Chains A and B, each alone.
Chain A
Amino acid sequence: MKAGTSLEKVLESGKFAVTAEVGPPRGTAASVIQRKGELLRPYCDALNVTDNQTAIVRMSSVSGCVLLKQLGVDPVMQMVCRDRNRIAIQSDILGAVALGIGNILCLSGDYQSFGDHPTAKGVFDLDSIQLIQLLSQMRDEKKFLSGENISGEVPLFIGAAENPYADPFEYRVLRLAKKVKAGADFIQTQAIFDVGKFAKWMEMVTERGLDKEVHILAGIIPIRAVGMARYMRDKVPGVSVPDGIVTRMEDAKEAREEGLKISLEIIEQIMDIPGVHGIHIMAVNWEDIVPAIVEKAGLLPRPLI
């Protein structure tokens, strides 16, 4: 075991993992995180806390993770390279470990021009692959990037994101291989809607044997409304929503019902794809739907670790 987190135990035992995303509030209320944590705890093996996602200021990921930890939830701390240099990154990792956080998801970060402070200076001192490599070095060699020694253990279970739909398609698997080489233990993918394309990507992944080296969790975004489907299809970088899904949402009498149905169908198909070790549900502002998804997908009860 590298960090001994619930997520690591579930994945290492070969069980199909379920994680979900918790968005922190744009304010100081611990209760927002606590409510979501209580709601999702019985249905997920770990919960990700986003790090100022879409470059909008929110409560810090580390604080959200601590609040979840206090409820007995295994948190995944998301960390972006946009807002901190190598000094701040390493310092935050030491603090996270001290607070009992073991899973870290390494991301480049959405560019600041998309957020609420578009005039901010982006840092980008490291990129996500360098961040993964740095965390492996901190854990395995107990050394900072500078080569100096870290006192104490740094037990980490290191995650990364991957987008099977971004261009150039053929290069995406090579980049995944690079993340694995850097030391990624698990991958949470961008939302899957076009299952065929994802299956093709997974085929390339398994051909290279990467599914044996890293746990791949497929991203699921439940669609709440037809506007959301259109918005993701047209506006969100790197997300690919087939027209068929938008049409289904347009024709649906009950948008939410249809959105749930679509998610369940995607999960069913994904579970048949070799090499997929779990799902990661990103129910943006619709966390309440997660229990229904997990239950109806037949993924209950969650393993007791």
Chain B
Amino acid sequence: MKTITQQKPFEEIIQFLEREQRVYLIGCGTCATMCQTGGKPEVLEMKGKLEEIGKEVTGWMVISTACDSLTREALEEDIEAVQRADAILVMACAFGVQTVAQYVEKLVYPALNTLLLGHEDSPGHFSRICIQCADCVLAQTGGICPIARCPKNLLNGPCGGSEGGKCEINPDLPCAWHLIIERLTKLGKLDKLEAIVPPKDWSVSFTGSPPPPR
């Protein structure tokens, strides 16, 4: 499991940086390195591209795990170059971007889009496994999550569009309900699906409501 990220279009990044001449670059040694979106090669490639359009890169680093609080210490180590920059471009997931923002009094820009927490099945192909809804439904669905994997979030699926085990919205996407039914059939437990699953409690979820007080 890792945070799956994808680089934003370079044009969008240039737009953020329109008024920022000096830029410091930060990559992440964990998920973004594994996704090949914010490891050392990608950071150096970004450095080259920014210099090509006339920006000054005051320095760069690949923090071992950008979302960790040790990020503060990592930034201290190159504080002079960080301070000389007008802005910081972070090639990590949104956790990493926000961690950096917490520790540096500079504008921080994301170079990546954070897609999901999940599997990378093959380069560029991801499975969404869990959306952290805080009200786990896996007991009713044979250990396969329809909230994360069915685009319509059906708790009593499948819809009428599933064909050949594939989702109607994308033939590359396996139908979550097909997987659930296949698995429960194999286990001889298809009767588990006879009960109607009631509407979900979204009040506990960060996705459906404001965060509860800490």
Contact = CB atoms under 8 A, between A and B. Distances in A.
Contacts of B178: 167-168
Contacts of B202: 125
Interface stretch (B23-31, B32-40, B164-172): B164-172
A285 to B, nearest CB: 21
B181 interface: yes
B168 A182 contact: no
A50 interface: no
Contact of A111 (B151, B175, B193, B194): B151
B134 interface: no
The DSSP consensus for interface residues of chain B is loop
Contacts of A237: 160-161, 163, 168
A141 B162 CA distance: 34
A98 B82 CA distance: 65
Give chain A's interface residue range (CB within 8 Å of chain B): 35 or more
Contact of B152 (A108, A133, A181): A108
A166 B156 contact: no
A127 B169 CA distance: 17
B98 to A, nearest CB: 23
Q: Which of B160, B175, B182 has the most CB of A within 10 A?
A: B160
A164 to B, nearest CB: 9
Nearest to B166: A167
Contacts of B161: 111, 163, 166, 237-238
Contacts, number: 91
A178 B194 contact: yes
Q: Which residue of B159, B169, B196 has the most chain A CB atoms within 10 A of its CB atom? A: B159
Contacts of A171: 158, 181, 190
Contacts of B175: 167
A291 interface: no
B153 interface: yes
Given A145-B199, A178-B194, A182-B196, A162 B156 contact: no
A129 B196 CA distance: 8
B134 to A, nearest CB: 16
B66 interface: no
A81 B202 CA distance: 16
Given A171-B181, A178-B196, A129 B156 contact: yes
Contact of B163 (A122, A161, A167, A178): A167
B152 A111 contact: yes
B196 A163 contact: no
Nearest to B198: A130
B199 A167 contact: no
